[in-house]
Every structure is written in structure tokens, then in C-alpha cells.
């Protein structure tokens, strides 16, 4: 599925990864990826003003399904099937904060594996 299709109002598709972060060749709807606990990619954007040493945070909407009403990083989102982390970072920043920045304004800092443990109450 092309990235443009992933954002056309239909459910977003994500690339399924191995634990080592390699693409499996399978893309699934976001809901299925979360339901099945599949490894997938996301991007976090941290806006830091070097001149003032300030970090831009945003408060999550009270209607979000995870961490509602909590302070969060500048911007974040899933990396849609076929997209790069840079394209996704630019898209999420514009969607969430209305900020458009050129590619050279972004710097890849690190990549890490984060595992979530499903807990039923």
C-alpha cells in the first residue's frame, strides 16, 4: 500500500518487523498490528531550541486512547508502510503542530527497541 493511500482516511497500514527491526514483507492495518503485538516502527520528533535550551512539549488530548491529558514530546506517530522515518517525522510535525520544516532541519539521534507488555485488569 502506498503512503498516500495509508492516509486517505482508510485505516493506516504499518510494516511488520522482526525483533531485529527488519521488514518481514508484510503490511497490516494498524489495529491488527497492535492487536497481534507485531513489531512496527514509530517516529518521535523532539523540537529543541539550542539558543534558549528549551524543549517544546505538547499536552495530549483528553480523548486519546493512551496517556490522555498527559504532557508528551513535541510530535510522534507511526511510520506508515513504505514510508521513511524522515517523511513520517515531517508529516507528524505538520499534522500535530502545523510546523513545516525542511529535511535538513531533522537529525536522527537514535533508534531503539521498545517492548510493551499487555496487561489485563
Convert the pLDDT of each residue in 57-80 to its tens digit.
Answer: 999 999 988 889 999 999 999 999
Q: Indicate whether 40 belongs to any domain.
A: yes
CA distance 89 to 97: 12
pTM exceeds 0.75: yes
pLDDT at 5: 45
Q: Indicate whether 2 belongs to any domain.
A: no
Intervals of the chain under pLDDT 50: 1-7
Q: Indicate whether 7 belongs to any domain.
A: no
Q: Is 90 exposed, middle or buried (0-12, 13-18, 19+ CB in 10 A)?
A: buried
For residue 55, give the nearest of 85, 77, 75 by alpha carbon.
Answer: 75
pLDDT at 67: 86
Q: Indicate whether 74 belongs to any domain.
A: yes
Instruction: Please give the residue range of the domain that contains residue 68.
Output: 13-105
117: Cα separation from own chain's centroid: 19
Q: Indicate whether 4 belongs to any domain.
A: no
Instruction: Domain count for the chain, please give it.
Output: 1
CATH number where 59 lies: 3.90.79.10
Q: Indicate whether 42 belongs to any domain.
A: yes
Q: Is 47 exposed, middle or buried (0-12, 13-18, 19+ CB in 10 A)?
A: middle
Q: Indicate whether 37 belongs to any domain.
A: yes
Amino acid at each position: 500500500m502506498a503512503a498516500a493511500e495509508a492516509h486517505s482516511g482508510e485505516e493506516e497500514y504499518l510494516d511488520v518487523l522482526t525483533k531485529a527491526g527488519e521488514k518481514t514483507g508484510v503490511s497490516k492495518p494498524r489495529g491488527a498490528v497492535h492487536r497481534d503485538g507485531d513489531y512496527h516502527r514509530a517516529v518521535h520528533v523532539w523540537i529543541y531550541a539550542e539558543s534558549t535550551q528549551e524543549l517544546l512539549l505538547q499536552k495530549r488530548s483528553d480523548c486519546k486512547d493512551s496517556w490522555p491529558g498527559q504532557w508528551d514530546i513535541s510530535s510522534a506517530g507511526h511510520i506508515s508502510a513504505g514510508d521513511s522515518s524522515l517523511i513520517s517525522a515531517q508529516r507528524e510535525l505538520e499534522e500535530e503542530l502545523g510546523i513545516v520544516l525542511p529535511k535538513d532541519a531533522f537529525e536522527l539521534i537514535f533508534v531503539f527497541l521498545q517492548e510493551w507488555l499487555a496487561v489485563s485488569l
